[in-house]
Amino acid sequence: MCGGPLYVFKRKDVMKPVHVGGLVVGGGSPLVLIAGPCVIEDEERTRDIALYLKKLTDEMDIPFIFKASYDKANRTSGKAYRGPGLERGIEILKAIKGDLGIPILSDVHSREEIEKAAEILDVVQIPAFLCRQTDLVREVARLARAVNIKKGQFLAPWDVRNIIEKVLSEGNERILVTERGTSFGYNNLVVDFRSLPLLRREGYPVIFDATHSVQLPGGQGTASGGQREMVPCLMRAAAAVGIDGLFLEVHPDPEKALCDGPNSLYLDALPELLSTVKSIDRLVKNRADGIF
């Protein structure tokens, strides 16, 4: 039993499952995969990635939510590729959602774009660097079907309670919380796996972002670096600790990706990795110790 912060908040004995499209996240349900490219590079490639992931997760019987950003407003350099923007990006995501019949997640960066994005997205994501922006959080909570809170790299796990309360204040209980690593000196992140049970004690599903957790923020000067080779280790460790979903950025050729290539996984690495993680998840959730 961990000490200290575990007792900061009252433990919720029953986790509220969150419904996303036709999927159930949390409450002891099988691990959900949230995956896709960092950003929409073009419609054809984005659709190909979504189709590959849908076919793979259907074959492996893994619940799946597709993710892709239409605008990466938080790039290291002002000259970096950001995506097609709100209008074209949402149009692409709407088409993929309709054609493939899959739930869609993307992030918002300003209040002005929330209403249009929320019309299409099954989950609206609050970026880590913006998770303390009260007006943004509340507007997302008011309009979104479901909210994914990315825990800021600068926050302790128990600080997320304040963000959850902002979402709840708008009457939205469809909340996911994503751990994505903590700042550890300059240009580096570290994962404290105690964070996962601490976050889960708030009673909402917890997602582990294994690819952003190996990012080296700004590590390449005008772009972030990453340690892709460490992603499988973190995936397995998080599943063993206990999570409700796994968040991965993937690409057919990460070396040529226009965003977050150094920490993105190759698509063809997924079958073996997901098979292992699924087995660990099943083992953990069969435990009769009350964690799930």
Kindly list the domain boundaries of the chain, sorted by start residue. Answer: 4-9+19-283
* CATH level 3 topology of 4-9+19-283: TIM Barrel (3.20.20)
Structure tokens, 243 = 């999570």
Residue 181 Rama label (left phi>0; alpha psi -120 to 50; beta): left
Residues 6+ apart with CB under 8 A from 246: 31, 32, 33, 34, 35, 207, 208, 210, 235, 238, 239, 277
Phi/psi of residue 137, nearest 5 degrees: -60, -45
Mapping DSSP to helix (H, G, I), strand (E, B) and coil, where does residue 178 land? strand
Using a pLDDT cut of 90, give the percent of the chain over it: 83
Beta 147-150 vs 123-126: how paired, if at all? Answer: parallel
Evaluate if residue 11 carries a pLDDT over 70.
no
pLDDT value of residue 220? 75
Q: What is the pLDDT of residues 123-180, one digit of tens each?
A: 999 999 999 999 999 999 999 999 999 999 999 999 999 999 999 999 999 999 999 9
Question: What are the pLDDT digits (tens) for 81-133?
Answer: 999 999 999 999 999 999 999 999 999 999 999 999 999 999 999 999 999 99
Does residue 2 have a pLDDT over 50? no
Q: How far apart are CA 288 and CA 44, in angstroms?
A: 46
Query: What are the tokens at 170?
Result: 């708008």
The alpha-helical segments, DSSP class H, found in the chain are: 43-60, 86-100, 111-120, 134-143, 160-168, 195-200, 231-241, 270-285
DSSP-assigned letters across all residues of 205-227: -EEEETTGGGEETTTTSSS-EE-
Average pLDDT of the residues in 234-262: 95
User: Does 291 score more than 70 pLDDT?
Assistant: no
Q: How far apart are CA 160 and CA 148, in angstroms?
A: 12
